[in-house]
Amino acid sequence: MTPAPALHIDPDSFEHKFAMTCGHRYHYVEEGDPKGEPLLLVHGFPDIWYGWRHQIKYLANLGYRVIVPDCLGYGQTDSPMELEKYGLKSLCTQLAGLLDSLNISKVTLIGHDWGGATVWRFGLYYPNRVHGIISICTPYNPPATRYRSLEEIVKLVPEFEYQLEFADPATAAKLDRKPHKMLLNVLSQGNMHEKDYEYIIDQYKLSGFRGPLNYYKTTRVNFEDEVGLRKNIDLPCWLIQAMGDPYLRPHLAKKMKEHMPQLKVTEIDAGHFVMTEKPDEVNAALKTCLEDLALRRSKASL
């Protein structure tokens, strides 16, 4: 079946805001009821906040307070030089600080790609601030008991071979010279309008690929931060699997339930950029997941 033509959503139709957290200026979009249940949507690579464009207004129309930042190093958010700032522990601390600035004590987190890795770690570092977690595509991997380099990880998970190039110090400058080439190639796996590309390319021109690619260089940073950290996440949570994802293949999630007793899983027949490829199906799945998380929370409080 031929996919429907991509629907362009004007980035200026969203409410753009800025906040300081941990000494960094974060750009974020906020939509929905200010008194509604807060949702924090965390994007991955090479998306920016705009990767959630089809979900933001849908969730806002359901009555949620939807907060969607440009993650550290992306778009209009600061892009510091220090590599340790891009470690998952640091990113979680920054997001907790963002919530503090918005007077939000507890939140439901939704992540994709690196954003999925981040929201799982948020559940480890800040479990008392979490109503529930939904990860799209990204499985949970518990903290490692011994250090493995990225090269070793790629031998175990060949699907991650592309990460070696992203971690190469020379790659950022190479991509900065022709940002449109890489972004068109990767994001075309979803369903994109020409104006979507134009906006994302313009946002990458603000601070380039150095910050986004730093995430792929944090293998040792994350290991050292997580020494002694518990492995289990005993929180209501969902994994939305994209069954055609060539990077985060469904089989990578097969052991998740060993560490997540409250995990539920649903599937969508789509590739990695499922939020733009199948936005209606993702929105329906998110609605189901959020309603289930609320029901489980209600039962737990009885």
Rounded Cα distance between 261 and 251, Å, is 18
User: Are the C-beta atoms of 285 and 266 separated by less than 8 Å?
Assistant: yes
Secondary-structure breakdown of the chain: helix, strand, coil percentages, each rounded to the nearest 5: 50, 15, 35
- Coil, strand, or helix at residue 56? helix
Q: Is 216 marked active-site?
A: yes
Rounded Cα distance between 223 and 90, Å, is 13
User: DSSP for 247-282?
Assistant: SS-GGGGTTGGGT-TTEEEEEES--TTHHHHSHHHH
Instruction: Name every residue whose Cβ is closer than 8 Å to that of residue 117 and which is 6 or more positions away in sequence.
Output: 88, 111, 138, 141
Structure tokens at 105: 């004590």
Rounded Cα distance between 234 and 130, Å, is 11
From the centroid of its chain, how far is CA 9? 20
- Out of 113, 196, 225, 245, which one is annotated catalytic? 113
User: Are the C-beta atoms of 105 and 210 separated by less than 8 Å?
Assistant: no
Range list of β-strands (E), the chain: 16-21, 24-32, 38-42, 65-69, 107-112, 130-136, 237-242, 263-268
User: Are the C-beta atoms of 26 and 102 separated by less than 8 Å?
Assistant: no
Q: Is 54 marked active-site?
A: no
Q: Is 113 marked active-site?
A: yes
- Out of 204, 216, 245, 247, which one is annotated catalytic? 216
User: Are the C-beta atoms of 270 and 277 separated by less than 8 Å?
Assistant: yes
Catalytic residues: 113, 216, 272
